[in-house]
Amino acid sequence: MINEKLEKAINEQINKEIFSSYLYLSMASYLADLGLSGFANWMRIQVQEEAAHAMGLYDYLIERGGSVELEAVAKPQTTWNNILHVFEATLEHEQFVTKSLNELADVADEVKDRAAASFLQWYINEQVEEESTAEDIINKLKLIDSDGNALFMLDKDMGARTFVAPVIG
Ligand code: OFO
């Protein structure tokens, strides 16, 4: 049976992952409104990734004999200043999630649940890639600046992204 404090903290993280998915879904619609279908596609894949992250924690909690207790999902922001602002907000959000996962792993350590700590390490490692990908896109957008052709090419690249279900744990 999983420790109650850890169960509560994992439930809170499930909510954050679902919110991430919801936030990126909102960003995808903003990007589609800008006519950037490739970027919108990229963000929609991100939506699926975040939903998979939430489900990984959901399944883990059940596997450990805990109970999933879903909370309300907050309304996400619906508009940004421009495309660069979208990815800066993405990076900021991922940094928030990284901090939250580190705190969650601290709870697992505190209650001496090594299995949970080991499981959560996958999520912490994943954040390195999540942050670095957002940084990479920000750098490209800064380089492109107002070059419409370069933005068109990048949008095409972003449109090629496909969903590969993450193997969690
Ligand atoms: Fe779930 O990795 Fe982003 O938030």
- On whether the pTM is more than 0.95, the answer is yes
CATH topology of domain 4-158: Ferritin (1.20.1260)
- The number of the ligand 1 atom at minimal distance from the alpha carbon of 127 is 2
Q: Is 46 in the pocket of ligand 1 (CB under 6 A)?
A: no
Contact 19, 141 (CB under 8 A): no
101 lines ligand 1 (CB under 6 A): no
Q: Whose CA is nearest to atom 3 of ligand 1?
A: 94
Whole-Å CA distances, 89 to 43, 85, 95: 13, 6, 10
pLDDT tens across the length of the chain (169 residues): 899 999 999 999 999 999 999 999 999 999 999 999 999 999 999 999 999 999 999 999 999 999 999 999 999 999 999 999 999 999 999 999 999 999 999 999 999 999 999 999 999 999 999 999 999 999 999 999 999 999 999 999 999 999 999 999 8
Whether 50 is in the pocket of ligand 1, judged by its Cβ within 6 Å, is: yes
